[in-house]
Amino acid sequence: MHPRWGVAEIAQELRAEQSEIRGALDKLAELSMLYSTGESLGVAAIHPEVGLAGYIHRREMEIHAQQMELASVQAATAELAAAYAAQRAQHGTMSLERLESVDEVRVRLSELARDASRELLAFMPGGAQSQEALDASRPLDEESLAAGVTLRTLYLDSVRNDRATTEYARWLSERGGQVRTVPSLPLRMLIADRSVALLPIDPEDTRAGAVVMQAPGVVTALLVLFDLVWEQATPFGAERPNSSEDEPVPQEITLLKLLAQGHTDEVAARKLGLSLRTTRRLMASITAKLGARSRFEAGVLAAQAGWL
């Protein structure tokens, strides 16, 4: 309405501090919702649909770049692990510590948690955690937090529907732990003090045991993987982004990707931490949003809509 007005005039009109006005104008400029009129350095508003379109496009490109980087890191992690194991085997010495049983894994996890002096990072796939596992973790986490160790834990989005796990996440957050959730996680993992990592031998079967590794190259790749997933995760306690009735939620997008990779409903359900019934209900919701009559048609329409 008044393109020639400066910060002082706007502040006077709105009865606000000039610093608040400058901050608001800077934010609007960042969102491409202002443009210079060329009249005494005045500015004018741009229609939100026009201004925000460019901002949304930039954010979409940034997210796409992060997803590509994450996929690259995941592939590099697998290659590094394979190369490391092959090299050690070739020289007749395997420095990896192999844990054969579930009991051995639990003992080693406790040792790593108690020995950590700075930081513990964890991927916790599998959906809702059992009460037994939560009860076993509580004293270890409490001890670590009391010692000033930073705890950052990633769960699946599906745990938000489980009372025991959400109560534990709330308890952990209240004591200084950091908890976030994502639709899916690549594997179970613990990294202590950014120098030693514990991974399952077979991500699909935790009963097969685990390995503890300290190879700097491998641990560094795993740290990059953790940080990328962490940045895209939703903090516990924060509302997950809402979508319109016709737009997919992140969990639905992840399900589509899993099915597109050839996974069965059962495997997809396990990776999402959901029941088979809930997973199929999620797929039905996707099909309905797309107006598809079959899964094949849903895949085609999802690709055309840019969901995949």
Distance CA(215)–CA(95), nearest Å, equals: 9
CA angle 165–213–155, rounded 5-degree value: 15
Residues 67-94 have pLDDT tens digits of 888 887 777 777 777 766 666 555 444 4
pLDDT at residue 38 greater than cutoff 60: no
Task: Give me the pLDDT at residue 51, please.
Answer: 63
Residues 171-204 have pLDDT tens digits of 999 999 999 998 888 888 999 999 999 999 888 7
CATH topology assigned to domain 60-235: Endonuclease; Chain A (3.30.870)
- Domains of the chain, residue spans: 7-46, 60-235, 250-304
Strands 119-124 and 150-156: what pairing?
Answer: parallel
Task: Give me the pLDDT at residue 254, please.
Answer: 83
Contact partners, residue 254, CB within 8 Å, separation at least 6: 183, 184, 272
pLDDT at residue 303 greater than cutoff 80: no
Task: Give me the pLDDT at residue 276, please.
Answer: 85
User: Other CB atoms closer than 10 Å to residue 154's CB: what's the count?
Assistant: 21
Residues 165-174 have pLDDT tens digits of 889 999 999 9
250-304 to CATH, choices 1.10.10.10, 2.30.40.10, 3.30.950.10, 1.10.3720.10 = 1.10.10.10
Residues 94-128 have pLDDT tens digits of 467 888 888 888 888 889 988 999 999 999 888 77
pLDDT at residue 158 greater than cutoff 90: no
> Among 290, 297, 218, which residue's Cα sits nearest to residue 252?
290
> Among 103, 88, 96, 90, which residue's Cα sits nearest to residue 211?
96
Only one residue has tokens 């999620």, namely 282
The total number of residues written for the chain in this structure: 308
pLDDT at residue 146 greater than cutoff 50: yes
Distance CA(134)–CA(121), nearest Å, equals: 16
pLDDT at residue 307 greater than cutoff 80: no
